[in-house]
Chains A and B, each alone.
Chain A
Amino acid sequence: MLDLWFDYKDLWLSGLKVTASLTLLAILLGFVLALPIGVARARNRGLSGVLAYGYVIFFRGMPLLVLLFLVYYGAGEFSRDLRSLGLWWFFRDAYYCGLLALVLNTAAYQAEIIRGSLNGIPSSIREANAALNLTRWTAFRRVLFPIAIARALPGLGNEFILLLKATSLLAIITIFDLMGQARFIFSETFDLRAYYVAALHYLVLVLVLEWLLRRIERRNAWAA
Chain B
Amino acid sequence: MELLSLLTPGPTGWGDELLIGLSMTLGLALATFPVSIMLSFLIHWARSSRRRPLRYLAQMHVSIFKSLPEILTLLIIYYQSQVVISWVADYAGLDSTLSISPFLAGLIALSLVISAYGSEVVRGALQAIGKGQVEAAQALGLSRFHCFWKVVLPQFWRHALPGLGNLWVILLKDTSLVSVIALSDLTHVAALAINTTREPFFFYLVIAAIYISLVIFSSWIQKRLERRAARGFVAGGRAHA
Instruction: Write out the residue numbers on chain A whose beta carbons fall within 8 Å of the beta carbon of B68.
Output: 165, 199, 202-203
Residue of A nearest to B186 (CB): A66
Complex contact B199–A77 (CB within 8 A): yes
Q: Mask for A165-195, Cβ within 8 A of B = 1, else 0? A: 1101101100000010010000000001001
Q: Is B69 an interface position by the 8 A CB rule?
A: yes
Tell me if A70 counts as interface (CB < 8 A to partner B): yes
CB within 8 Å of A: which B33-92 residues: 63-64, 66-72, 75-76, 79-80, 83
- With A77-B199, A172-B180 as known contacts, state yes or no: A206 contacts B79, CB within 8 Å: no
A192 adjacent to B199 (CB under 8 Å): no
Whether B204 pairs with A199 at a CB distance below 8 angstroms is no
Shortest Cβ distance from residue B125 to the other chain A in the assembled complex, whole angstroms: 19
Q: Which chain B residue shows the least CB distance to A196?
A: B76
- Chain A residues, CB < 8 A from B191: 69
Stretch at the interface among B15-23, B93-101, B208-216, B230-238: B208-216
Q: How far is the CA of A157 from the CA of B49 in the complex (A)?
A: 30
Q: How far is the CB of B200 from chain A (nearest CB, A)?
A: 4
Contact B187 A65 (CB under 8 A): yes
Report the minimal beta-carbon distance from A43 to chain B, rounded to whole angstroms.
22
Give bound CA distance, A90 to B219, whole Å: 36
Q: Is A61 located at the chain interface by the 8 A CB criterion?
A: yes
Specify which chain B residues have a CB less than 8 angstroms from the CB of A203 in the assembled complex.
63-64, 67-68
A168 contact from B71, B173, B212, Cβ within 8 A: B71
* Chain B residues within 8 Å of A77, by CB: 198-201
> A61: which of B67, B204, B212 is its contact (CB, 8 Å)?
B212
Contact B200 A76 (CB under 8 A): yes
Contact of B71 (CB < 8 Å), options: A70, A161, A179, A192: A179
Is A58's beta carbon under 8 Å from chain B? Answer: yes
Query: For the side of the interface on A, what is the size category?
Result: 35 or more
Which residue of chain A is the closest to B79 with respect to CB atoms?
Answer: A192
| Residues of A contacting B198 in the complex (Cβ-Cβ under 8 angstroms) | 77
Residue with the greatest number of chain A CB neighbours at <10 A, chosen from B64, B79, B176:
B176
Q: Is B225 an interface residue (CB 8 A)?
A: no
A63-B173, A63-B176, A73-B194 known; A199+B72 contact, CB < 8 A: yes
Total residue contacts A-B, CB cutoff 8 A? 103
- Is the beta-carbon distance between B211 and A63 smaller than 8 angstroms? yes
Is A120 on the interface with B (CB-CB < 8 A)? no
Say whether A73 contacts B204, CB under 8 Å. yes
Which residues of B sit under 8 angstroms from A134, Cβ to Cβ? none
Q: Does B147 contact A (CB under 8 A)?
A: no
Task: Pick the most buried of A69, A75, A165, A198: most chain B CB atoms within 10 A of its CB.
Answer: A69
Interchain CB contact under 8 A, A57 and B80:
no
Cβ of A62 under 8 Å from chain B? yes
Any A CB within 8 A of the CB of B31: no
> Is B177 an interface position by the 8 A CB rule?
yes
Q: Does B205 contact A (CB under 8 A)?
A: yes
Complex Cα gap A99–B204 (Å)? 18
Q: Which residues of B contact A (CB under 8 A)?
A: 63-64, 66-72, 75-76, 79-80, 83, 173-174, 176-177, 179-180, 187, 190-191, 194, 198-201, 204-205, 207-208, 211-212, 215-216
List residues of A whose CB falls within 8 A of some B CB.
Answer: 57-58, 60-67, 69-70, 73-78, 161, 165-166, 168-169, 171-172, 179, 182, 192, 195-196, 198-199, 202-203, 205-207
Would you mind naming 28 contact pairs between A and B with Cβ atoms under 8 Å apart? Answer: A57-B212, A58-B208, A60-B215, A61-B216, A62-B173, A63-B174, A66-B187, A66-B211, A69-B204, A70-B208, A73-B204, A74-B205, A76-B200, A77-B199, A77-B201, A165-B69, A166-B69, A169-B69, A171-B71, A179-B71, A182-B72, A192-B79, A192-B83, A195-B72, A199-B76, A203-B68, A206-B67, A207-B63
- A sample of 5 more A-B contacts (CB under 8 A), given A198-B72, A202-B72, is A57-B216, A66-B190, A69-B191, A195-B75, A203-B64
Q: Ordered nearest first, which 10 A-B pairs have the shortest CB separation?
A: A61-B212, A74-B201, A206-B67, A73-B200, A168-B69, A63-B176, A63-B173, A62-B208, A165-B69, A70-B204
